[in-house]
């Protein structure tokens, strides 16, 4: 199943800078692992904000929940999840 997820990252201004960099490095590694596994299909930066719009391809809502809640930056994220399905006019057979 496909889901669009908007993630807004809100790291408090007084949060330890080194710890923030460590979490961002781990987040990038985890993101790239999930991309390679085909779970995190797309990501776009929302212009002018520390936010992204992403497309996930997962087996279930509970898999998506586990992926999102285990992200290193999860404690600093607000998320909005929108379930998606294939548009009947789409030429992309793998949109499901
Ligand atoms: O930068 C972000 O939007 C947050 C998060 C998503 C991928 C990643 O590397 O960090």
Express each pLDDT in 44-86 by its tens digit.
999 999 999 999 999 999 999 999 999 999 999 999 999 999 8
Cα of 9 vs centre of ligand 1, distance in Å, is 8
pTM > 0.95: no
Q: Which of 30, 36, 43, 72 to mutate to test the pocket of ligand 1 (most atoms within 8 A of CB)?
A: 43
Tokens of 67: 């992926």
Q: Establish if 90 belongs to a structural domain.
A: no
pLDDT at 95 over 80: no
**What is d(CA 42, CA 59) in angstroms, rounded to the nearest whole number?**
16
Determine, yes or no, domain membership for 7: yes
User: Within a domain: residue 96?
Assistant: no
Number of folded domains that form the chain: 1
Residue 95 lies in a domain: no
Q: What percent of the chain has pLDDT over 70?
A: 100
| 91: in domain | no
Evaluate whether ipTM surpasses 0.90: yes
Residue numbers of the domain that contains 48: 2-84
CATH code, domain with 46: 3.30.70.1060
């Amino acid at each position: 199943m496909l889901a669009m997820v908007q993630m807004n990252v809100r790291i408090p201004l007084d949060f330890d800078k080194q710890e923030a960099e460590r979490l961002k490095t781990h987040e990038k590694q985890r993101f790239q692992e999930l991309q390679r596994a085909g779970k995190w299909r797309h990501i776009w930066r929302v212009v002018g904000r520390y936010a992204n719009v992403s497309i996930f391809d997962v087996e279930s809502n509970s898999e998506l929940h586990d992926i999102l809640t285990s992200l290193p930056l999860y404690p600093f994220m607000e998320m909005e999840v929108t379930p998606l399905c294939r548009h009947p006019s789409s030429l992309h057979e793998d949109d499901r």
